[in-house]
Amino acid sequence: MNLRDALFNWLQIKIVSDARPEDGAARNSLEFFEKILTEDHHLTRVEMSLLNDHTYRIQYTVNGVQEEQLAEREMAEQLLEDIQSNPQYGRPETSRRCDSP
């Protein structure tokens, strides 16, 4: 996964995780993307903030150099919106039983 995509995926799940602190799946996904950023792309710091009403700023450090990437707010918050508008995403998984014939 390239750095740009990894940062955007991290941003989306960071937004979800911050909005839903009780959501273990979101927390696990956030850890997964943080691992990609640190191990695959060697980031030592990554933070997000709202630059304005329409834009998120992702600031990060890689190889000692501070960088940033911008993301459209509507796109960044789409995953959270999808989860909130589809209640089945917010429910714990139920176990399913498969019977052999």
Quickly list DSSP for the chain.
Answer: --HHHHHHHHHHHHHHHHH-TT-HHHHHHHHHHHHIIIIIT-EEEEEEEEEETTEEEEEEEETTEEEEEEEEHHHHTHHHHHHHH-HHHHSPPPP------
Query: Taking Cα atoms as reference points, which of 25, 19, 29 lies closest to residue 37?
Result: 29
pLDDT at position 94: 35
Task: Give the pLDDT confidence of 42-73 residue by residue, as tens digits.
Answer: 999 999 999 999 999 999 999 999 999 999 99
pLDDT at position 63: 92
pTM: 0.84
pLDDT at position 91: 56
Q: Which domains does the chain have, with CATH numbers?
A: 3-88 (3.30.450)
Task: Give the pLDDT confidence of 17-29 residue by residue, as tens digits.
Answer: 999 999 999 999 9
16 touches 23 (CB < 8 A): yes
